[in-house]
Structures are given as structure tokens and as C-alpha cells.
Amino acid sequence: MKKAYMGVDIGSISTKGIIIDEDNKILASEYIWTEGDPIGAVKRLISILKGQFNEKKYKVVGVGTTGSARKLIGVILGANIVKNEITAHAIGTLSLYPDVHTIFEIGGQDSKIIIIDHGIVTDYAMNTLCAAGTGSFLSSQSKRLGLEVEEFGEMALRSKNPTNIAARCTVFAESDLVHKAQIGHKKEDIVAGLCKAVVNNYLNNVGKGKKISAPIVFQGGVSKNVGVIKAFEEATGEKIIVDPNSHLMGALGVAILSKKAPEVSFDFNIEDVTFETKGIECKGCANNCERICVYKDGELIDAWGNKCDKGAIKVKAKV
Amino acid sequence: MSKVKVNFPRFGSYNVAVRHIIVNGLGVDYVDAPPITKKTLEIGAKYSPDFVCTPFKYQLGGYIEAIEAGANTLIQVGGACRLNYYGELHEQILKDLGYEVRFVNMANADFSKPLTFYEEFKKIKPSVNLKKITSAVLLAVKMVEVIDKVEDYIRENVGFEVVDGSFEKLHKEFLEDLKEVNDKKELNLIAKLYMSKLKRVETNKPKNPLRVGIVGEYYTIMDEYSNHYMEKELAKKGIIIERWMNVSNSIFHNYVKEIKQSIKNYAKYDMGATSMYTIKKALDYAKDNFDGIIHVKSFGCTPEIDTMPVLERISEDYKIPIIYFSFDTQTSDVGINTRIEAFYDMIMMRKEKKIK
């Protein structure tokens, strides 16, 4: 029986899973929508991965989780490592592009930049408070234009004269877009302008003050958009590398990290297990900490969210 | 008017020193606001202008909670930024809300003329005795110095305590005992007692631990609720934390001239408030080979925003990572913890690489 490692990246918009062998070769992978239900998404994800995976030949001995729901899903899957998405993305990308200098990552709700020097993260930034220049901005604008977000990129490439669209803020961008459409700008020019707006916003906010140098790897859901890739190439004057598995880098990174953690024995059969979370307000003081309790088949397996010991919820036995 | 009950906004651990001035110097009652919670911030944000700095909101919420707890005389101080206008605006807002309180605004006093403070204290108690209040203020200054000394030691060691919570427990006891102090002799005893207690707490410090320096805006850096208990989060990861910014260093041991001289390659003009200190200390930490620097401020703090390009230059010149946090009224820790975790991973990896 050979050893295998699973990585799960649960973002606000999509949930990504990967299983690799000891040489980081991908044995199974999947990308599905989170749809506001991380537990349900992970259950679906695991059963899909199970279908792709040869359980006779391999045994999953490491499970890592990353992404904004990493803690919750880490408990549910019994992960041996839970890592933030910045580190996970860096490790995943480095495994494929050891000499990468800059990682652009644009996801559904957030975007980040990671600067790497000789295989070590030396600087990073994440967007703050605002969804401008992220995937959700592009998808809401494509809806407004009556387009599927998937056809967005190709259409942008057809433009010869991209429309200028204010990039600072989604609210401004949206009214700018509406005005330009109404005075007769071509749809493909507007679409190309939006791609440029996302790139400018990214470089002016997340990328501000960062030393951007080649090789540059671009990932996250938005890296599938060829219009944005082209806009990045024009803005940086460098070639932008997009891996065919660019959407899986976080999951890959955390799967690799799980190799170093103490081994676990992962069971794919979580479909029939019910996981429930309950928010319980602590009445200990006026802070009213919202504590999250996680139950597996009715039994409390973990809890968090309290700021002080007064609100601590004791879990009897760790599963 | 009924019995005077004074409140001063919650600020780090210093309220115990303010209390001493009020109770022993003026001889009137002191009311502490309840600890800051989500509710404090909710009330404060509700009645504050949206774009005012966050400390203003915390303090307004705190005043209202203190009034509900019985306070009828509120004190505010001045400063070298928008803080100087806090008092006037707080007073007006509370008045508009219908609270009948007396507001004493120390921003009206002049640091270069100590007697002007005496005039302000007179507003709280007309019969105030100059000698009594002076000696109370002097002792309060000493108290602040002891508090800062104790907390510096804790920051340096709390990440390595063998029994979780040992330092926090001692810190709480220390502040309680400090309330009972009446003179210098008692203060010295308490200081000695707790420094020796702290030094006896068992720690397990590795040979070459990570060191992180924290710089930034006055209130947010010192109020743990405002910065989402950042120092605790860092300590949990086994990091030595250094924070020069405290009341003793910034007000009592002020050495502005030297600071300006030592940062002249990076900043020619004073950008106000804490900006010079932030640059100076970031430069010191960089030169001292710290593993990283964390910059904290409340959203929209102009002096601290002005320091950021300078910090970026320091980061580049000394190859030291700096991470920036801007706090507003958000209460979720998730995004903050993600960034702190990633920062920790980054400085750890850098260190491992250096050692190799």
C-alpha cells in the first residue's frame, strides 16, 4: 500500500480538493462551488475524490486544509495540518515553479500577492475590506452585461480599443461601465476595459510597493480568464505563467505540508456522518462572544470563538 | 450637584494611575468604565461620525457605559493629532444625546505650563490642594513607569511560559495591588515584589527565538481589544515581542530631538502624533536584526498613513518584513489571524534559511 496525501482548499466561492502521492503526482482532483455551505461542499468533494482514487493501491495518511473555512473543515476531516492560504499557495506553487519570484492570486473574495526570493516568502499582501479587483466583481459585472463569466476572457481578447473604466472601487467601476455602455462603447471593449480595471486595481492596491519581478505565476479562479492574463502581461511587461492546475495550488500546498505532520488514517466514508455547527452566545459579559460548536453525529467534537476562559466550552474526548 | 464621580477613558493598564490622581489627589470618587466589549464599540460607532478614527468610537462608547455605571464627570486629554479635538466633540455629542455630565477637557491645558492643568483640576474640585494634587500626579507618573516595566518584561517572556496563563494571572494581581498604593515607598515594594515574582515564573525560552517589534498609532497599539489581542496571538506562537511605545517612553522620557536626528535620512519633517516614534523604532528594530515588524493603526489615522512609505523604504534597505494592520469597527478575527499566521510562517522560514 502506497501513501497518499489530501489537500482541501475551502474558499468562499469554490472548494478545491487534491490527492497526491509521495512524489507530488496528482492522483485525484476536483473543483466545485461552495455555495455558502462548506460542510456540504466538502462532503460532495470527498465523494468525488473517492471515485477518482484507487483505494486498493493507496492509503491517505495526511490531510491538510486551507482557505477561509480551514478550521471548521480541518476538524471535520480530522486534518493533521491546518494552514493559512498564503503559506499554502506559496508552498504549492514552489513545488512546480521552484524559481518563481512573484505570485499573483485572485480568488472569489480576496486577492493576494506573494513575493518569493530563493524559495522563501519574503513579502506578501492581501486585499483589505473590499472586493474590488476580485472574481466576484467580474462575475457580477458579467451578469450585468448578459455574459457568462467563462466567455468573458475570450471576448476581451477581441477588443482593439479597451474602454477606460475607473478601477478604484467597484461602485465607481459599475457606474462608469453603465455610462460607457449607454453612450455606445462596444461590448468587447467594455469587457476588455473591465479586465484592465481588475488588473490596475490589483496592482495599485494589493501590489502597491511590492517588488514585482519575473517569473510571475498567476493563480486563483480569475487566472482562468485570458483577458485578465493579457491585461497583466501588458501592465507588467512580463510573461505571465498560468499552470493548468492554477486553481489547485492552495490545495496542493497544504497536501504537501501534510506530509510533514504526524500521520493520520483518513476515512472517505463521511457521507453518512452528520456534521452540525451551532452558534452559542456566551452570556458571560457584554461582549457576547459567538462560540461555534461542531457536532459529529450529535457529539460535540470541537468549539471555538470565545475570547476568554469564561466562555470556554470543554470537549470531552478528541475524536 | 450630587457627589462627583469621575471617569477617564480606558487606556491600556493605566487607569489605575489615573484613579490614584482622582481619588488621592482630588479626593473624589472614580468610576471605571466596564471592560471594552462589542457593545462598547457598537454604542460608540452609533453616535460617532463614520469617518472619525476608531479610538474616538471606543472612547465615546466607554463614556456612555461609564455614565450608566454612575459617572458624572468625564475627563479627556489632548494630543498632537485629531485627538486634540476628541474632547470637544465627545462633549457635544454627549450633550446632544441628553446626558447631563460635566466634561473636563485637558486639551485646554498647556504642557509647558503645568499650572494650567491645575486650573482644569479645579473644575473637578474647586477646593483642590495644589500640593496634594502635585504629589498624586508625581506618584501616578511613577506608577505608570512601573506598569510599563512590568509589561515590557511580560511581553518578552509570556510566549515561553511553561504553565499557560501564569503571566496573565500575575499581571491581574499586580494591577489589583497597585490600586492600594498610597506612597512611593509602597509603590517600590509592589514593584520589587512583582518583578521578582515575574522572574520566578518558569519559562522555556529557546536559544534564538523569533523577535518581532510592534510600532504604530498610540491608542490602537496599547489597547488590546482594539488590536484584537495581537500581542497574545503572537506570543502564543513563541515570539518575543518588543513594543517601545508606551506612556513612559513617549511622554515622560521624551527625547524628540535625538529621534529627529537619528531618522533624518528617512524623514525630514515631523508628520505629527506618533509618526516620528514609529519611524525611529522601526529603524531601530531593523538595525537590531529583528525578524519582523508589525505596524498597527486605526483606519484613517493620517500621521501613521504618512509613515508607511517610509517604513517600506526601511523594509527594503534592511531586508526586514513589515506587515500593516488597519483596524476599524470590524469584530471578526479571521482575516487578522490569517495574516498573522502567514507572517509567522514567513519570518520562520526566513530564519530557518538564515540559520542553514
- Average pLDDT in chain B: 92
Higher pLDDT, A311 or B108: B108
Greater pLDDT, A157 or A169 = A157
Do the Cβ atoms of B39 and A286 come within 8 Å? yes
Please report which confidence band the pLDDT of residue A319 belongs to, taking 50, 70 and 90 as the band edges: very low
What is the spatial distance between Cα B79 and Cα B59, in angstroms, rounded to a whole number?
15
**Closest residue in A to B293 (Cα–Cα):** A123
Burial class, B196, CB count within 10 angstroms (exposed 0-12 / middle 13-18 / buried 19+): exposed
Strands A58-66 and A26-33, by their bridges, are: unpaired
Q: How many residues does chain B have?
A: 356
Tell the CATH topology of A99-242.
Answer: Nucleotidyltransferase; domain 5 (3.30.420)
Residues 6+ apart with CB under 8 A from B347: B210, B212, B291, B292, B321
Q: Do A287 and B350 touch (CB under 8 A)?
A: no
Would you say residue B331 has pLDDT above 70? no
CATH (residue range B5-128): 3.40.50
Q: Give the C-alpha separation, B45 to B60, whole Å.
A: 8
The beta strand positions in chain B, using DSSP E, are 5-7, 29-30, 73-76, 102-105, 210-216, 239-242, 292-298, 322-327
> What's the CA dihedral at B54, B60, B63, B67 to 10 degrees?
-150
Find where cell 515561553 sits. Answer: B160
Instruction: Give Cβ neighbours of residue A148 (< 8 Å, ≥ 6 apart).
Output: A142
Percentage of residues of chain A with pLDDT beyond 90: 46
What are A134's three cell numbers? 476580485
Per-residue confidence (pLDDT) for residue A318, from 0 to 100? 47
pLDDT tens digits, A74-122: 999 999 999 999 999 999 999 999 999 999 999 877 889 999 988 888 8
* Grid coordinates of B296: 498597527
Is the CB of residue A195 less than 8 Å from the CB of residue A227?
Answer: yes
Whether A59 contacts A36, CB under 8 Å: no
Kindly provide the residue ranges of all beta strands, DSSP E only, lying in chain A, ordered along the sequence: 2-10, 14-21, 26-33, 58-66, 81-82, 102-106, 111-117, 120-126, 216-219, 240-241, 275-281, 290-296, 299-304
pLDDT computed for residue A145 by the predictor? 85
For B264-303, the pLDDT digits (tens) are: 999 988 888 899 999 999 999 999 999 999 999 998 899 9
Chain A residues with CB under 8 Å of B37 CB are 285-288
How is chain A split among helix, strand and coil, in percent rounded to 5? 35, 25, 40
Question: Measured between alpha carbons, how far is B290 from B308 in angstroms, rounded to an integer?
Answer: 18
**What is the complex's ipTM, to 2 decimals?**
0.77
How confident is the model at residue B283, as a pLDDT?
A: 97
Question: Which range has the top average pLDDT, A154-168, A184-198, B73-87, B273-287?
Answer: B273-287
Q: Domain A2-90+251-258: which CATH class?
A: alpha beta
Closest in B40, B326, B342 to A84, CB measured: B342
Q: Is the pLDDT of residue A291 over 90?
A: no
- Which residues of chain B are within 8 Å of residue A308 when distances are taken between CB atoms? none
The whole-angstrom separation of Cα A256 and Cα A267 is 19
Mean pLDDT of A284-304: 83
Among candidate residues A212, A206, A208, A215, the one with its CA nearest the CA of residue A240: A215
Residue of A nearest to B351 (CA): A120
Please indicate whether residue B344 or residue B112 has the higher confidence score (pLDDT): B344
Tell me the domain boundaries of chain B. Answer: 5-128, 141-205, 206-356
CB A312 within 8 A of CB A306: yes
| Angle B36-B40-B42 from CA coordinates, rounded to 5° | 140
Per-residue pLDDT for A314 more than 80?
no
Q: How many helices (H) and strands (E) does chain A have?
A: 9, 13
Q: Answer yes or no: same fold for B5-128 and B206-356.
A: yes
Half-sphere exposure (Cβ direction) of B56: Cα atoms closer than 13 Å? 27
Q: What is the pLDDT of residue B251?
A: 85
Between A103 and A290, name the one with better pLDDT.
A103
Determine whether the interchain pair B346/A68 forms a contact, defined as Cβ–Cβ distance below 8 Å.
Answer: no
Q: In the block, which residue shows the cell 468625564?
A: B74
Residues of B in contact with A118 (CB under 8 A): 353
- The tens digit of pLDDT for each residue in A236-278 reads 999 999 999 999 999 999 999 999 999 998 888 887 888 888 8
Which pLDDT does position B60 carry in this prediction?
Answer: 97
Secondary structure, 3-state, B171-228: HHHHHHHHCCCCCHHHHHHHHHHHHHHHHHCCECCCCCCEEEEEEECHHHHHCCCCCC
Does any CB of chain A come closer than 8 Å to the CB of residue B331? no
Helix (H, G, I), strand (E, B) or coil at B322: strand
Whole-number average pLDDT of chain A: 88
- Mean predicted confidence (pLDDT) in B163-192: 95
Query: Is pLDDT at B158 greater than 60 in this prediction?
Result: yes
Within 8 A by CB and 6+ apart from B20, the residues are B136, B139, B140, B143, B181
User: Which residues from B are below 8 Å from A87, CB to CB?
Assistant: 341-342, 345-346
How many other C-beta atoms lie within 10 A of the C-beta of residue A99?
10
Q: Do A87 and B350 touch (CB under 8 A)?
A: no
Radius of gyration of chain A (CA): 21
User: Which are the contacts of A13, defined by CB distance < 8 A and separation ≥ 6?
Assistant: A33, A34, A107, A108, A109, A135, A136, A221
Q: What is the DSSP string of B24-44?
A: III--EE-PPPPP-HHHHHHH
Q: Find chain B residues with C-beta within 8 A of A120's C-beta.
A: 346, 349-350, 353
Instruction: Examine the pLDDT at A1 and tell me if it is beyond 50.
Output: yes
Q: For position B1, what pLDDT does the model report?
A: 54
- Residue B148 has a pLDDT of 96
Beta bridge partners of B298: B327
Q: What is the amino acid identity at position A126?
A: M
Contact A100, A243 (CB under 8 A): no
First to last CA, chain B: 71
Q: What is the pLDDT averaged over residues B191-203?
A: 96
- What kind of fold does domain B206-356 have according to CATH? Rossmann fold (3.40.50)
* pLDDT class of A209 with cuts at 50, 70, 90: confident
What is each CA distance from B223 to B184, B217, B233, B298, B341, in whole angstroms? 27, 10, 14, 11, 21
Of A151-155, B50-54, B253-257, the range with the lowest mean pLDDT is B253-257
CB contacts < 8 Å between A and B, how many?
66
Chain A residues with a Cβ under 8 Å from any Cβ in chain B: 68, 83-87, 118, 120-124, 126, 128-129, 209, 211, 285-288, 307, 309
Judged by average pLDDT, the poorest of A204-213, B213-222, B235-244 is: A204-213
**Distance between B79 CA and the closest CA of chain A, angstroms:** 29
Q: Please classify residue A199 by burial: count the beta carbons closer than 10 Å to its beta carbon, then call 0-12 exposed, 13-18 middle and 19+ buried.
A: buried
- A60-75 burial, b at 16+ Cβ within 10 Å, e below that, comes to bbbbbbbbbbbbbbbb
User: Which pLDDT band, with edges at 50, 70 and 90, does A132 fall under?
Assistant: low
Closest residue to A288, CB basis, from B35, B38, B345: B38
Cα B259 versus chain centre, distance: 20
Compute the distance between CA of residue B346 and CA of residue B354 in angstroms, rounded to an integer. 12
Q: Which residue among B38, B312, B337 places its CB closest to the CB of A209? A: B312
Which of A82, A105, A111, A128 would you mutate first to test chain B, the one with the most B CBs within 10 A? Answer: A128
Q: Are A155 and A187 in contact (CB under 8 A)?
A: yes
- The ranges of chain A annotated as CATH 3.30.420.40 are 2-90+251-258, 99-242
pLDDT of residue A146: 87
